Structure 1
Amino acid sequence: MKGAKRSNLFLLELIFSLFSFTLCAAVCVGLLLHARAMSQESTRLTQAVYLAQSAAEALRAGQEDACPQPPEGYTLTPQLTSRDGLVEGEIQVAYEGETIYTLTVAWPQEVTEP
């Protein structure tokens, strides 16, 4: 009779340990998925900042055709106005239709002499 009680306690302890392990594994998988999503978001933001800065530099240099070609999924939209000797505006970078980064720019308009 004593042996049956011991084996029942052992099985109960084993079931409890398996349940604890499963719970911990589920939490770890959730954390890993969250970390992966954060990594992808960070990569998109870094790419967007690079695209916006490169476009701003090319536009300031007056080389519109030198603007970087955005990778697939990204769109680059410069919206610049020129007035009172100043070029100002925004350069927006979106990924799959969602704006990720907006760069506000302003620089003096260069005057070309005849």
Structure 2
Amino acid sequence: MHYRKAVVWQKAMALAREIYALASLLPGEERYGMRSQITRAAVSVAANIAEGWTRESARDKAHLLAVAHGSLSEAETLLTLCEDLGWCPRTDTVEARGLMDEISRMLTVLRRRRREVAQVEG
């Protein structure tokens, strides 16, 4: 299956679009600070899922899914800070938070399966 057909990748792309929309709410002076960091983290989730999907070995796939999961946690932490600072009202972040939760659950399952495959290969 091509990664574009994977629901987890599609949701990660939706999250990246949502984060870009939320980033427009940030103060102008944060263009090269928070805005840059949160959008890079969100894009990294989808990019690492795609890269991992195309790798040959289960170990490589598992590693890149772990990187994607780490980027998701980074994006979630940065979003929390944006909420805490009053830059992004919590009412505006509901969609992004829902996607983050779904993606996290999916990555947990995928990573668990990859670890099992890697143990069999290894």
Greater radius of gyration (CA): 1
Q: RCO (CA 8 Å, sep 6+): is it higher in 1 or 2?
A: 2
Q: Which has the higher strand share?
A: 1
Q: Which has the higher helix share?
A: 2
TM-score with structure 1 setting the length: 0.33
TM-score with structure 2 setting the length: 0.31
